[in-house]
Amino acid sequence: MERTLVLVRHGQSEWNLKNLFTGWKDPDLTEKGVSEAIAAGNKLNEMGMKFDVAFTSELTRAQRTCQMILDGVGQSDLTTIRDLALNERDYGDLAGLNKDDARKKWGEEQVHIWRRSYDIPPPGGESLKDTAARTLPYFITDILPRVMAGQNVLVAAHGNSLRSLVMVLDRLSREEILNVNIATGVPTVYKLNVDTTIASKEIIDL
């Protein structure tokens, strides 16, 4: 039995382009972001991928990416479940600030810690640990059982909500997760073993 889980971060958003912290803010995709989502769908289609269900967040950029991928694989009407649990990490007071301006104000290292550390939250926002506290229970109760039952599952979400899942799927330490960045619009295809360990992981070259 194949247990296939495809994770994809939304395509480039308007605020990714402007280099702004986004979090729970809701900018749309740029043209490039749309192209990335279409390319991801086309590539998955070439691979013969068909999904049984799709999950996405409550944010437009992930929802549109999800829909464009489903369009690409010829499954525009597939059941798609939206949940806040998959939203991006809440960037708190940093939301809307330019990332380079933040580095000038607080220093490169502090900003990197806020962006990539496991348990240090940005001011007023969520750490990766806080993010995992909502993504993981949802993953375990709603997403993983479908994968383990042999369904092909698509999850279109966000850089940090996906990092929190990748940390657990890849059994990464809190030091190892510091260096994990998830590119926009690039699907990762996991095949899981019966004990939920990874049989294979492929980051799809677009």
Ligand X SMILES: O=C(O)[C@H](O)COP(=O)(O)O
Backbone angles phi, psi at 100, to 5 degrees: -70, -40
Candidate list 11, 159, 185, 187; residue touching ligand X; CB under 6 A: 159
Annotation: binding site for substrate: 9-16, 22-23, 61, 88-91, 99, 115-116, 159-160
Q: Which is nearer to ligand X, 4 or 90 (CB)?
A: 90
Residue 205 to residue 187: CA distance in whole angstroms: 8
Among 51, 55, 91, 190, binds ligand X (CB under 6 A): 91
CA of 164: how far to CAs of 42, 49, 81, 99, in Å? 27, 25, 19, 21
Q: Is 22 an interacting residue with respect to ligand X (CB under 6 A)? A: yes
Residues 50, 51, 54, CA angle at the centre, nearest 5°?
A: 150
CB 94, min distance to ligand X, A: 8
Task: Determine contact, residues 33/12, Cβ cutoff 8 Å.
Answer: yes
Clarify whether 88 is annotated catalytic: yes
Please state, in angstroms and rounded to a whole number, the distance separating the CA atoms of residues 111 and 116.
Answer: 9
Asked if residue 36 binds ligand X (CB under 6 A), the reply is: no
> At its nearest, how many Å lie between ligand X and the CB of residue 149?
31
Does the protein bind ligand X through residue 64 (CB under 6 A)?
no
Residue selected from 12, 57, 131, 160 as contacting ligand X according to rule CB under 6 A: 160
CB of 172 to ligand X, least distance (A): 16
Whether the CB-CB separation of 38 and 70 falls below 8 Å is answered with: no
Taking the least distance from each CB to ligand X, the nearer of 21 and 138 is 21
Residue with tokens 């993983």: 144
Q: Give, as one character, the DSSP assignment of residue 37.
A: H
Contacting residues toward ligand X, per CB under 6 A: 21-23, 88, 91, 115, 158-160
